Amino acid sequence: MKTLDLKKTRKLLSRIMEFELAGVVRYTHYSLMIFGPNRIPIVQFMKQQASESLLHAQTAGELLTGLGGHPTLRIAEIPESYKHSVQDILEESREHEGAALDLYKEFLDTVVNRSVYLEEFARTQIGQEEMHGLELRKMLRDIGAPGHAPSPPEHLEDDDAPAPDAKRDRKRRKKDRGKDRAS
């Protein structure tokens, strides 16, 4: 196993903590700015995200102090777009989750083959952030956001799809069989 770069690891854990604390504020703000007929489930989702961000920040802080670091009192910058439609909020949430995913991937690159525990922590967080991204994409798809339209079913691989001529030939044969039975 390689040697863990403690300075870099602590710095990344501090950034994660700041970012996750910003997520608490961001998602709490969003939960207060949701209006309309679907307000209740979206507000509940945002509150869950805020609670989860707090838990992630606390976990990163515990790891940081366990490695001899000192937790920060700062939070990451939270830009305010002043756009509060459900679509805008979900898009901003998706961007936030993408940035969190990048941060955890950077952390994983730093700790891989250096600490099993830290590596597992990073992988778990990456999995959770990927799931959040999927959930947000599905929520955006429901409101018809550009770039989030559902894809056609992919039950057939491209190589398995019948050629246009084969489809036409099958239809002809079926039609011919129907004529033969009628005669």
For the chain, the structural domain boundaries read 6-142
Distances from the Cα of 103 to the Cαs of 12, 16, 63, 126, 132, in angstroms?
8, 7, 16, 9, 15
**For the segment 114-139, what is each residue's pLDDT rounded down to a tens digit?**
999 999 999 999 999 999 999 999 99
Amino acid identity at 83: K
Q: How far, in Å, CA of 57 to CA of 148, rounded?
A: 30
Query: Using N-to-C axis directions, what is the helix angle for 39-66 and 116-142, rounded to 10°?
Result: 170
- What would the pLDDT profile of 20-75 be if each residue is shown by its tens digit? 999 999 999 999 999 999 899 999 999 999 999 999 999 999 999 999 999 999 99
The CA-based angle 177-178-183, given to 5 degrees, is 95
E strands, the chain, in order: none
Q: What is the mean pLDDT of residues 70-90?
A: 95
Tell me if the pTM is above 0.95.
no
User: Hey, what CATH topology would domain 6-142 get?
Assistant: Ferritin (1.20.1260)
Contacting residues for 162 by C-beta, under 8 A, at least 6 apart: 170
Decide: 12 and 106 in contact? Cβ < 8 Å: yes
Share of the chain above pLDDT 90, in %: 74
In 10 A of CB 80, how many CB atoms?
9
